Amino acid sequence: MRFGIVFANTGPYADPDTAVAMTQAAEQAGFDSVWTVEHIIWPEEYNSTYPYHPSGKMQGNTTTAIPDSLTWLTWVGANTTTLKLATGILLVPERNPLVLAKAAATLDHLSGGRFELGIGVGWLKEEFEALGVPFERRGARTDEYIAAMRVLWAEDNVSFAGEFTNFSNVTSRPHPVNGAVPIVVGGHTDAAARRAGRLGDGFFPGRGSFDDFVRLKEVMNNAAERAGRDPAEIELSLPMPAGADPRADIEALIDLGVSRLMVPAYLFWGDTPDQSIPAFAERMMAAYVS
């Protein structure tokens, strides 16, 4: 079992010195990865429903800093050596796929192949409107952008013809260290599970009960098999079980095939990371990290 830290670029870790302190402490304590969140803008008012809180609203306010994911990961990547650097998630349909392919491959190249691109389709319609990007059909746009990026990552002098993006005889370098950046599909819906099955290297449902995860895994597996893929090759990451002693739940998730547990960064806000992170690792991770 591996452990990652999610919401890693939020709260005190939005600032440069504390970001480095946290990620270095995480690397030393045995965490395998850090995962950022993103919103390019935060509307003062919005009617869209935030799916991860009962209020339907994002926590915090418009003064809350959410650093750009790729820039923040580049900063902490330059100050760590083994920690995987991941977006959890990046809103692919809001980005130009050629620009994103270049940025992702560059970060992967500079970090020695440590970057993973966690992707989502987005829920905040007002953000899309501010960016001038259609909110409708964002799922189809995401699928096509992923296909286009993988073409750009794989070879030189490539072409792509799609509904949302087209290019002919172009090259984008550097290429990712291992030929492609791993794509981790985020989301707790059937659509996200099917997307992970069709094209994901990993799947991260960010919320739900154990029974929800079992069902989503089955949806993912069925989609993978229909696409001619082996579901066992899709890495499954889930939120860390809550409670003072979640060992029984962790064992059940291991039996389910989960290979990474995501720990929220806000658990470490109350103390300096060189104290809170090792203490958590000793208490919760020691029995599972080899």
Residue 246 is predicted with a pLDDT of 78
Tell me the CA distances in angstroms from 69 to 86, 87, 214, one per residue in order: 9, 7, 30
Residue 285 is predicted with a pLDDT of 87
Question: Domains of the chain (ranges plus CATH)?
Answer: 2-285 (3.20.20.30)
Residues 6 or more apart in contact with residue 6 via CB below 8 angstroms:
35, 37, 88, 206, 239, 262, 263, 264, 265
Do 69 and 49 form a contact (C-beta atoms < 8 A)?
Answer: no
pLDDT in tens, the chain (290 residues): 999 999 999 999 999 999 999 999 999 999 999 999 999 999 999 999 999 889 999 988 899 999 999 999 999 999 999 999 999 999 999 999 999 999 999 999 999 999 999 999 999 999 999 999 999 999 999 999 999 999 999 999 999 999 999 999 999 999 999 999 999 999 999 999 999 999 999 999 988 889 999 999 999 999 999 999 999 999 999 999 887 677 788 888 999 999 999 999 999 998 899 999 999 999 888 878 75
Do 163 and 140 form a contact (C-beta atoms < 8 A)?
Answer: yes
Q: Decide: helix, strand or coil at residue 120.
A: strand
Rounded to the nearest 10°, the torsion over CA 176, 182, 187, 189 is 130
d(CA 247, CA 240): 10
The per-residue DSSP string of 214-273 comes to HHHHHHHHHHHHHTT--GGGSEEEEEPPPSS--HHHHHHHHHHT--EEEEEGGGGTTS-H
d(CA 3, CA 137): 34
**66 is written with which tokens?**
């959410």
Do 128 and 135 form a contact (C-beta atoms < 8 A)?
Answer: yes
Q: Give phi and psi for 238, each to the nearest 5.
A: -135, 160
Its pTM stands at 0.96
Rounded to the nearest 10°, the torsion over CA 237, 241, 247, 252 is -50
Do 163 and 144 form a contact (C-beta atoms < 8 A)?
Answer: yes
d(CA 203, CA 184): 5
Return the bridge partners of 166, or none: 161
Residue 161 is predicted with a pLDDT of 98
d(CA 24, CA 288): 20
Return the bridge partners of 49, or none: none
